[in-house]
Amino acid sequence: MKNAMTIDVEDYFQVSAFENLVNREDWDAISPRVEKNTHLLLDKFAEHETKATFFTLGWVAEKFPQLVREIVSQGHELASHGTHHQRASDQDRETFKNDVGDAKKLLEDIAGVEVVGYRAPSFSFTKQNEWVYDVLAEENYKYSSSVYPIVHDHYGIPDAPRFKYTTPSGIVEIPLSTLPLFGKNIPISGGGYFRLYPYLLTRWAISKFSISEREPYIFYLHPWEMDPSQPRMAQASLKSRFRHYLNLNKVDRRLTGLLKDFEWSSMADIYGFNNELSE
């Protein structure tokens, strides 16, 4: 069974953990690293003949349009991560509509392909903002991968379905992967957990998931996680620094193992979403 390789394309200073330290108005003054780090992923995927879904920020696309074109030209799926990495749970309906609508149009104009997928920054879909699916449908998205069915201090809907489901608006939600253990959903989808868990544990969890669930496994990573030499945010809290910088020097090696040990493709390929731009 093929599993979904997904990348949330954002720079290190745009993460939610640092949103109170770095003003959005100052982003243009910071030396970006996302282009170089995304190329590291593109090169690795090419080496291992892997296709992925790149949930890309509109801000990144506007600054690096050629990077977006390269993602598409190499056969990967281009999807939306919104415009400015603002949590959906912090936006009202009009702001969210502008955020996801502007990002979709910008990505499509640059790349010449239809953008059908969306992932909310910090998995910020909650039971209090279910209207987001109506907005995604209005903006002609087809699917979302914005729900993590776990308990977490910043996100998560613990009792959400664990596998693909269709919302009343017609948008398909594809939750991040979990493993039920001791009566709880254990997060195994990557990101910080990929850096926290020893690789042998990650490999065991994915194998167990594949055998017991018979569903595609969803993995995610950020380009900044390929960059152990990135500038440090010394003013961040100890917890934020631990989560952000833990084992960055091990990601490249672990990702190589992941690409060798399992079969991967994009969300659009695995779930059969059309990704052609309409005339």
Q: Where are the domains of the chain?
A: 3-271
CB under 8 Å to 173, separation ≥6 — which residues? 125, 133, 143, 144, 145, 146, 147, 161, 164, 165, 166, 167
Contacts 24+ apart (CB under 8 A), 26-34: 27/59, 32/63, 32/64, 33/223, 33/224, 33/227, 33/230, 34/9, 34/10, 34/60, 34/64, 34/67, 34/223, 34/224
Q: Which residues of 115-145 are buried (b: 16+ CB within 10 A; e: fewer)?
A: bbbbbbbbbbbbeebeebbbbbeebebbbbb
Kindly write down the DSSP assignment for every residue of 50-107, as one continuous string.
Answer: ---EEEE-HHHHHH-HHHHHHHHHTTPEEEE--SS---GGG--HHHHHHHHHHHHHHH
Residue 135 tokens read as 């907005």
pLDDT at 105 (0 to 100): 98
**Residue 9, Cβ neighbours under 10 Å: how many?**
27
Q: Per residue in 39-69, pLDDT tens?
A: 999 999 999 999 999 999 999 999 999 999 9
- DSSP state string for 221-239: E-GGGG-TTSPP-TTS-HH
CATH 3.40.50.2300 is held by the domain 3-271: no
Averaged confidence pLDDT in the chain: 95
Q: pTM of the entire structure?
A: 0.95
Report H helices in the chain.
34-47, 58-63, 65-73, 93-111, 132-138, 192-196, 199-213, 238-245, 251-261, 267-271
pLDDT in tens, 69-112: 999 999 999 999 999 999 999 999 999 999 999 999 999 999 99
Looking at the predicted structure, is the pLDDT value of residue 277 above 50? no
The mean pLDDT of 7-36, rounded to a whole number, is 96
Cα 237 to the center of its chain, rounded Å: 23
**279 pLDDT higher than 80:** no
Residue 122 clears pLDDT 50, i.e. is over it: yes
Q: What is the mean pLDDT of residues 5-30?
A: 95
Q: What is the predicted pLDDT for the residue at 124?
A: 92
Section 151-167 average pLDDT: 84
Mean pLDDT of 251-278: 89
